[in-house]
Structure 1
Amino acid sequence: MSAKYAKYEDIDKDQLQVDIEKIKESIGKATVEDFHHLLKLERWGRISTVSGYLIIFILSFLEISSYSLSGIIFWTFALLAATLIGVGNVSRWANVAHPILHGAYDKVPNVPYRYTKAGFAKKGRRYLDWFDWIKPEAWVYEHNIMHHYHLGEDTDPDNVENNLQWLIQSKTPMWARYLFVYAFAGTWKFTYYAPNTLKILENKKRRKLKMPQVTQYEISPFKRNGAILWKEYILPYFSVKFVIIPMLFLPLGLEAVFNAFIITVMAEYIANLHSFLVIVPNHSAEDIYRFDTPHKSQGEFYLRQIMGSVNYKTGTNIVDFSHGWLNYQIEHHLFPNLPLSQYQKIQPLIKDLCAKHNLEYRQENVFKRMKMTIELMVGKTNLLKVGNV
């Protein structure tokens, strides 16, 4: 930490708690206007997805007509379609599923049940509300409980430095480490999040039964845990996204099915890159803290959320939508169940509070933070440790 900011042990954690809770009280309860804001973001995501598939339909229709496009024009529009579908994919997760599954709209008067934590993406509604590689109930426990309440600790399942010790401590050449990170970024939703969230949920059950913990999840479909991963996570999403949806274009010919499949694969890769960009750097860089022990008070909990998180640039709904509202990560970790629109109001208040307590309020361009995160992932830098700065 820079010498101009107060040290962790010197912060008045009790006063910090009082000040933060005063700010929360000043915002008030979630309103119908907050819910309408969510519906607007939901529409933007849906429009993006539908627009992408509409472009695929138009391209496929032109391919079988006398208006066949040149290769360059075709694949330019194909990339546009993939990008729109990818943006819709990320929006569904970050702008819709994320706040709802934190219960952000539960107390809005007369809110429809499907927009509450208890009703969203449950059982068959998974296919309608939030259909992804990740099973909603597994992600809720991994993210809402283990990540939020163990931020920066060894028990935080999203502690990037911890998770990549096998790479950092290996003798892998630096160029190969970078190559791995770039490849991982394009696949991480199903290579990391799907198996990891299932492992965390499984270990929750095992703790209750006093059984040994699962340290590594099986990928093989012929082993018990691997079979669950394939049956409940991988195969449902793969079947719908990469088989059923492309087959809907069959009336336009097999080439249309192939094109839809390729563009869908491109969209998935883009969605992985987009989500990796806005999610992973939130808590990962050489100026972010990790903690060896659990927090001992609510004030210390609040302090860790600030010292263990970073914001990106904030601003208009468009800017925030493109970041999946993850550009308000400090505020989100302080108040995870706030409606998204409230973060725009609370952000300057939290920034001023940090100045009052001489706390560093980290807020930078997402691409700069991504570069810093990659340096951490390949082992060039380390997270800061409380007591060592």
Structure 2
Amino acid sequence: MSIEEVRANATDVQSGAGTLPPFVSTKKPGPAPARVDPPSSTDEGLPSVEASPSPFARKEAFARELLDLRKELEASIGPEDLEHLRKMQWWGRGCSALGYATAWIAPNPISALLIAQGNTARWTMVTHHIAHRGYDRVPDVPEHQTGRGFAVGWRRFLDWPDWIHPDAWRHEHNALHHGNTGETSDPDLVEENMEWLRQSDLPLVAKHAIVAFFACTWKLTYYAPNTFLEWRRVQRRRAGEQDDGTPIRLISAFDPFTEEGRSFWATCVLPYAGLRFGALPALFSPLGPWAVGSVFLNSVFAEVLTNIQSFILIGPNHAGEDLYRFEGRAKSHSEFSVRQVIGSVNYATGSDVVDFFHGFLNYQIEHHLWPHLPMRQYQRAQPRVKAICEKYGVPYVQEGVLRRAKKMVDIMVGRASMRTVDPAGAR
């Protein structure tokens, strides 16, 4: 996918500012990230050291070979891709069904884990790839499994009941994140968003405690308000209202005394909370108050678990001292392509079982190169993309998810910094 296609939906929506935590109003400049400069001559009298070539050195040929692979993958999209989506969807539904079928017996970790896995699968595999229009090219695909028809209107509560509003997700994730990956204007750039914590004087144990809190709650405390406020910002711009581009303060979404806060509660918080923690437990009323209470407690526990699981899977995708962040916008499609690779990380890949429990987020490099492809195509593309990267000297990072989570936390608390590339070396 070209840089123009990725950014097509991002016109007039660039904020140019990161997201601030709820209780911080300004950012301090952070420590300089590790910079990788293009090769240069050595100082006189010092031994010569061979510099690593820039990952952008052969970017044009690299992008051309990726384009050929993209065309091949697009040509092979067919009914098998839709069947694969439905298989992943039914695996997720099966987890949810089994979880709720046992949740009434007593509060227990097994039911909560199953419900959590179903929730995560619905977000990371079904919603994520359908919202990217990954299945729009499949012949005779049902409207509700297309990018425009998924989770629209009343189908939101059938396709993707969540704290996050589907339209807000489409804008924040598809347009802003994918159009600005690793840049300061990327609303999901971990290092930028956590600069307040990185620069704080808190003890390290306190910093880790704050990270743990966000890991347990981040869908409600970060993703829902962040996507909603970015969505509201672009709506105001389209309506002709002025926007000074000030950083978003997530706490403002929870203020019921403002119009925006009331809208957030009515649009995101109350519908999902009412369904997940009210209506679903109430369905077990015929089995008695113990059953209702057990389902409620298992639902709460499952919410914490799905937050932790998705935090570990999603957060590290673009965070780590061996990944890059970028200064300014990419100047060409070839530069954009290299950025998607060196600013992303893959986890272990392989069978559908492995990929299911990784939420298909283990193909993040391939996904950022071509976000419009179905999940099954990433399985086919991964070894070939890795080989192309090796051929052209473009770093391809692949590591276990728990190790990546550790590297993400190090970035969040300020123990490590991401790498940057000298802008001159990318041109």
TM tier, smaller: over 0.9
> Which residue pairs with 2:242 in the alignment?
211
- Displacement of 1:210 after TM fit? 4.6
Task: Quote the Cα distance in structure 1 between the aligned partners of 2:53 and 2:396.
Answer: 12
Q: Is the 8 A contact 1:87 1:271 kept in 2?
A: yes
Q: CA deviation at 1:310?
A: 0.3
Cα deviation code 1:214-234 (max 9, x no counterpart): 632411112111111100000
Q: Does 1:368 align with 2:403?
A: yes
Q: Is 2:91 the counterpart of 1:36? A: no
| Contact 2:55–2:395 (Cα < 8 Å) also in 1 | no
Maintained 8 Å contact 2:55/2:393: no
What is the identity, as a one-letter code, of the residue corresponding to 1:25? K
Higher mean alpha-carbon deviation, 199-208 vs 101-110, is at 199-208
Higher mean displacement: 330-339 or 207-216: 207-216
| Separation in structure 2 between the aligned mates of residue 230 and residue 205 of structure 1, nearest angstrom | 18
Aligned to 2:94: 47
Range with bigger deviation, 19-28 or 323-332: 19-28
The residue that corresponds to 2:47 in the other structure is: none
C-alpha displacement at 1:29, in angstroms? 3.9
Q: What is the alpha-carbon distance in structure 2 between the residues aligned to residue 127 and residue 6 of structure 1?
A: 50
Identity %: 42
> Helix, strand or coil: the match of 1:349?
helix
Deviation at 1:5, TM superposition (A): 5.2
Q: Give how far 1:4 is off.
A: 8.0
Q: 1:380 aligns with which of 415, 418, 425?
A: 415
Report what 1:68 is aligned to: none
Contact 1:6 1:359 survives alignment (8 Å):
no
**What corresponds to 1:355 in structure 2?**
390
Please list, as runs of the form range in 1=range in 2, the aligned pairs for 1:225-304 lying within 5 A after superposition: 225-304=260-339
What is the aligned partner in structure 1 of residue 103 from structure 2?
A: 56
SS of the equivalent of 1:186 reads helix
In 2, the alpha carbon distance for the partners of 1:21 and 1:308 equals 19
Which has a greater percent of helix?
1
Deviation at 1:25, TM superposition (A): 1.6
Measured against aligned partners, the alpha-carbon deviations of 1:317-374 in whole angstroms (never above 9, x if no partner) come to 0000000100000000000011100111100110000011011110000000000100
5+ residue gaps in structure 1? Answer: 60-73
Q: Where does 1:65-214 land on structure 2 (aligned, <5 Å)?
A: 78-208=108-238, 209-212=240-243, 213=245
TM-score by length of 1: 0.92
Q: Distance in 1 between matches of 2:273 and 2:337?
A: 40
Aligned counterparts of 1:137 and 1:251: Cα–Cα separation in 2: 36
Deviation readout 1:177-232 (Å, 9 max, x if unpaired):
00010111010001000100011112212333251246324111121111111000
SS of 1:187's equivalent?
helix
| Cα distance between partner residues in 1 of 2:84 and 2:405 | 28
The answer on 1:18 being equivalent to 2:51 is no
What is the one-letter code of the residue matched to 1:49? S
CA contact (8 A) 2:337 2:369 kept: yes
Looking at structure 2, the residues matched to 359 and 13 of structure 1 have their Cα atoms a distance apart, in angstroms, of 9
Give distance in 2, aligned partners of 1:146 and 1:5.
32
- How far residue 259 of structure 1 moved from its aligned partner, in angstroms, is 1.1
User: Alpha-carbon deviations, 1:19-41, whole Å to 9, x = none?
Assistant: 10011122224200110000000
Distance, in Å, in 2 between the alignment partners of 1:364 and 1:164 is: 23
TM-score scaled by length of structure 2: 0.84
Cα separation, 1, equivalents of 2:383 and 2:292: 49
Aligned to 1:69: none
CA RMSD of aligned residues (A): 1.6
Q: Between 243-252 and 104-113, report the one with greater CA deviation.
A: 243-252
One-letter amino acid matched to 2:378: Y
- Would you say the 8 A contact 2:164–2:219 is kept in 1? yes
May I ask how many residue pairs the two structures share in their alignment? 371
The counterpart of 2:365, out of the listed 330, 341, 350, is 330
Q: List per-residue Cα deviations over 1:96-143 (Å, max 9, x = no partner).
A: 011100001001111111100011000111001111000001011100
Structure 2 letter corresponding to 1:242: F
